[in-house]
Each structure stands twice: as structure tokens, then as C-alpha cells.
Structure 1
Amino acid sequence: MPGAAAYVPHYGPANEADKTKLVFMGYTETTSWTLAAADVPTHKVGDKFHICVQTFNVKGVGANDIEKARDLHDNHLGSEWSDEVVITATDSTP
């Protein structure tokens, strides 16, 4: 969405392609987002992560990105979810 104030990436456990099960959220106020290594779900080499992004005309309110994403998800109307992006893991979690 041109002019969006915030973006909420939705992702799920490794190999979960069902959009209704993309239960984890990120938050950014730019068109760039990096998932922190500590937040990457358990996976092995070759697993796939499905990510969809929702845009909002307002910024989220909260003390951290999780609270801001939750605020937007629970209290504001966002865009339709984007087409999914699929990323293939090249490493595995210990």
C-alpha cells in the first residue's frame, strides 16, 4: 500500500503454508524487515517459511515491536495480506 505508516509481517512455524496458521508477527515502519535470529522458529535445512505482509495507515502503539504489531492486529483495519514470500532455510536450529 503506497504511503503505509506501518507493516506487519505474518509468519508461522517451518513448512506452514496455511495463511490462517501464520501466527507470529513482526513490525516495521519501513519497507524493510529482518527477523531476529532469536525469533526464527525451529527448523532444519530445506524447511520453508511462508511470510505475508499487512499494511496499516497508522503506526502501532506499544513499548516494543510485539506490542505494536498486536495493537495494529487487534485494534486497526489493515490491508489485505500480500502474496506470500517463501524463504528456504539454509541452516538448522541447534
Structure 2
Amino acid sequence: MAELDGIENKTDPGDALDVNIYDLPPEKAKNVRQVPGSLDEALKALEAHNEFLRRGDVFTEDVIDTWLEYKRKREIDAIRMRSHPREFYLYFDV
């Protein structure tokens, strides 16, 4: 659906990059478009822009809202409320 939305709206994907983005100086790196860097950011983006999924009755608003709530409660909150294995390594592995 996102691809069809891009085609219909003639979304410009930008020019291809033929450089290592990790080597770009900050003033050039800030112009490189980014995708969400976490599940939480991706869900916020979906929440802000989901009309393309509702076009043609593919998904209903209720389904999208339920999906967002489920992912936040069962995945984001579940991970956020627990120690990460790296924390155990850093602080408890003596």
C-alpha cells in the first residue's frame, strides 16, 4: 500500500547516494532522509500517516488503532520495563 501511495502521489524518493553515509560530515548527513530508528518511532509515523492503508478498505481505522495499541503494550512497554541483557553485562557481570 505504501508503494502504491508513493506512485499515486508521485513521491520523490530522492537521488541515490553512492557514498558511505557513516562517513558524511554532519552538514551533509542532516540532508539524508531517514527511516524510523525504533519500533516506537515507526508506530508514531504510522499513527501520523496511515490514510494510505485505509484507502480501498484494505484496513479500517479500528484495525490500525488496535495494532498500534497491541504493539505498544505487548512489545514496546514490555521491553522498556525490563533490563536489557547489555545492562546485566555492564553492571552485574563481575
TM-score by length of 2: 0.21
- The structure in which a higher percent of residues are helix is 2
Instruction: Specify which structure has the bigger relative contact order, considering alpha-carbon pairs within 8 angstroms and separated by 6 or more residues.
Output: 1
TM-score by length of 1: 0.21
- The structure in which a higher percent of residues are strand is 1
Question: If you compute each CA radius of gyration, which structure gives the higher value, 1 or 2?
Answer: 2
